[in-house]
Amino acid sequence: GNYCLIICQFSEQEEWFSEGRDELIRAIRVTRRQNKNLARNIILFVGDGMGISTVTASRLVNTGQLRGEDGEDNLLYFERFPHVGLVKTYSADSQVTGSAAAGTAILTGVKINSGVLGCDSRVKKGNCSAFTENTKLKTILHAFINEGLSTGIVTNSRITHATPASAYAQTPHRGWEGDVDLPHGDTDCAHVDDIAKQLILNNADIKVILGGGRRYFLDNSTQDPVLGTVDPHQRRDGLNLVDEWKKDKIRRNATHSYVWQRSDFDAVDSNSTEFLL
What are the pLDDT digits (tens) for 132-168? 999 999 999 999 999 999 999 999 999 999 999 999 9
pTM: 0.86
Predicted confidence at residue 13, as pLDDT, reads 64
CA distances for 96 relative to 91, 92, 108, 175, angstroms: 7, 10, 19, 18
Binding residues for Mg(2+), by number, are 48, 161, 163
CA distance 74 to 103: 29
CA distance 213 to 49: 20
Question: Could you give all domains of the chain from N- to C-terminal order, each with its CATH number?
Answer: 128-277 (3.40.720.10)
CA distance 92 to 7: 56
Predicted confidence at residue 95, as pLDDT, reads 95
Predicted confidence at residue 115, as pLDDT, reads 98
**What one-character-per-residue DSSP string does 13-62 give?**
HHHHHHHHHHHHHHHHHHHHS---PPPS-------TT--HHHHHHHHHHH
Whether 157 is a known active-site residue: answer: no
Predicted confidence at residue 48, as pLDDT, reads 82
The tens digit of pLDDT for each residue in 193-238 reads: 999 999 999 999 999 999 999 999 999 999 998 889 999 999 999 9
In the chain, which stretches have pLDDT less than 50?
1-8
Predicted confidence at residue 121, as pLDDT, reads 94
Pairing state between β 256-257 and 275-276: parallel
The burial class, CB within 10 Å (0-12 / 13-18 / 19+), for 230 is middle
Catalytic pick from 99, 114, 166, 257?
Answer: 99
Segment (H or E) for 108: helix 99-108
Binding residues, by number, are 48, 161, 163
Predicted confidence at residue 271, as pLDDT, reads 94
Binding residues for Zn(2+), by number, are 48
Residue 208 pairs in a beta bridge with 152, 276
CA distance 191 to 202: 14
